[in-house]
Amino acid sequence: ETGVTQSPTHLIKTRGQQVTLRCSSQSGHNTVSWYQQALGQGPQFIFQYYREEENGRGNFPPRFSGLQFPNYSSELNVNALELDDSALYLCASSRDRLSSPLHFGNGTRLTVT
Amino acid sequence: AQKITQTQPGMFVQEKEAVTLDCTYDTSDQSYGLFWYKQPSSGEMIFLIYQGSYDEQNATEGRYSLNFQKARKSANLVISASQLGDSAMYFCAMREVYNQGGKLIFGQGTELSVKP
């Protein structure tokens, strides 16, 4: 069983630029979600996708957007990067059941200068 | 509003001893799930244990057990026989029944250090 994989592992961008982060879900999982984790904090929910549609969103502005593809891989796009966007971005996949744990990737460390 | 509170920013434990990490939660729903995750310095979030709100027995997974007290809205993680590899950040998280997908609400975490 293949786990959740994310790319790239590290990224450095300049304020105002755009970035795309990628995620490949664990096989058999139909839900993918993205989290932002600032240093020393718990992960914050950005949004989730189920069968290629966004069906839940946290308190993040519209410049954070995403896609889920038919093979359940996913992208997180962030436009007009700000310094506060510097964080670890975690992708997670799961089944759509209350008891189903999220399985996380290793994350992408984004630094905005 | 849903909320998870972890009041111990850092904890120390001697190798081979047991340790309890505290977690309290707030929700108005009757049906919900509680999770614990471990995050080593490498950054990966590792699932440890799950407890459903209607589960009558406390969950156990190897050296991990969850002390679930529903009336007090607490879900403490107990790690028995601590090992050096247990040193990491530990996060308590909650999912509500109407949100059976990917949304978990996380606490601030507890950093556990195991001393040899």
pLDDT, tens only, B13-40: 999 999 999 999 999 888 899 999 999 9
Give the whole-angstrom CA distance, residue B35 versus residue B49.
Answer: 6
Looking at the DSSP bridge assignments, the partners of residue A24 are A5
Q: Do A56 and B99 touch (CB under 8 A)?
A: yes
pLDDT the model gives residue B59: 96
3-class secondary structure per residue, chain A: CCCCEEECCEEEECCCCCEEEEEECCCCCCEEEEEEECCCCCCEEEEEEECCEEEEECCCCCCEEEEECCCCCEEEEECCCCHHHCEEEEEEEECCCCCCCCEECCCEEEEEC
Question: What secondary structure letter does DSSP report for B55?
Answer: -
pLDDT the model gives residue B113: 97
Average pLDDT, chain A: 92
Q: Do A97 and B109 touch (CB under 8 A)?
A: no
> Beta strands B88-96 and B32-39: pairing type?
antiparallel
pLDDT, tens only, A62-92: 999 999 998 889 999 999 999 999 999 999 9
Of B43, B52, B103, the CB nearest to A48: B103
A–B CB contacts, 8 A cutoff, strictly below: 76
pLDDT, tens only, B57-80: 999 999 999 999 999 999 999 999
Of B43, B91, B102, the CB nearest to A92: B102
What is the band of B48 on the pLDDT scale with cuts at 50, 70, 90? very high
Looking at the DSSP bridge assignments, the partners of residue B95 are B33
pLDDT the model gives residue A71: 84
Of A13 and A27, which is predicted with more confidence? A13
Of A32, A98, A107, the CB nearest to B102: A32
